[in-house]
Structure 1
């Protein structure tokens, strides 16, 4: 049974579908036989849908194997093989943001402008609706706007926020937030962190310090790091994730703005190239438009 969110996802992926699935269907309809030319055209469509060259070549190889295994003769049936390959590639991982061990700390990283603060607000709102006690820490102290924006979201979601002045030490904010979390018996502490990639050394030091404080002061909490990526940037998002991976380990991806792009294929590329699960995807502006990523639903909606 597909969810209400599936309808949103289906609508959200309209642009991607127009540039991807429809092109594939139209192309397959023109062929009588399954030959090299068909695969070349399929390859071209996948690459232009922002799936990336490396990932596309892998998909084509796997589709060829499927076609042989399933003894497919009709070009139109290649689409079914492609669907199977994509479902297998994306895998069905456990996409719960909260594993049962509470308290939990979620560090959220990502460059400015990808929808990081908004995603944190939406995650907080989602967890609160699931009856968790949530607190936010405004540890992106580099931008005053980030702190104010997070305050707006904390009010909207109805959760507590720990904040300091702009320019203060991010690790000190996290320290205070941990003490407050313990005192108020918070289930989930979500920390916003700076999104500056141009100075990797600073970012590395900052995240290192924050991680050390969490390990020391809140060793009983389970910890994970989520990176927020903007789907509209396509292959650029993959590059951003790779750069952050050099700085710290990443447990999951939050992919925003899928509804605003024809580059929804980037989901496949991200999974294939980085091997990090896409945990949440955003397909709209409203507070409940950020949902757990479900492979089958995604591929179904894509086709």
Structure 2
């Protein structure tokens, strides 16, 4: 099957003013993206040694304001040197939190949110029983990379530790999403920018028309709310995935019966990293049971 490319449909292109023929990256423009948003994303995408500004193709300076971003070419102007960052990107696949070590995580996220935080879709209560069909307690920082979480001491951000499962399973690393939003979130097609009043950024159009709106800041003021630092990490990953160079690969996740899933992964881009993420996402609960059995 054809492989999707994050650069398809880009109508915003970012260039070095001193080397206008080579694009450093770009963006598929969606409603609500502002000039100030572009400045912030360029600061993630590029490492500068001095201050910088952006110019339109005609040489006019782009103001760092809330004016709507326009399609076209944008040029970075700086008195110092700069380079596109080589910051690591963590390949991510659609994940589902299952198993006993994440049970308290799911319960805590459900109890706190009771609706999709991004779409606003509410759960249904029937006969006093909450119906959770189509809603998923989602890790902001992926559970598949717990070793990365531990090695970089991201647990230092957490103030509410779960009864089991480690700090990565804190409610502060979780968010309740409906299944569509979960797919978009895990694929880095949507993200929440805590540094722009919790604005939902869409990095490509979606069928729901989700993006550009601000979430309730009161929700994020709760002591058990998702952490700004974790949301900021996810937003950085979304910028790197979608804007750097030609963008990171988009992986197929809806395999029809009889598909050679392993073959598709092994012959595709980022095979080793994707295999690791897929195995944990699909077999996480079984892996946990295996390790428990070994210890018994």
TM over 0.5: no
Instruction: Tell me: higher relative CO, structure 1 or 2? Use CA pairs within 8 A at least 6 residues apart.
Output: 1
Q: Which has the higher strand share?
A: 2
Q: Which has the higher helix share?
A: 1
The TM-score with structure 1 as length reference comes to: 0.29
The TM-score with structure 2 as length reference comes to: 0.30
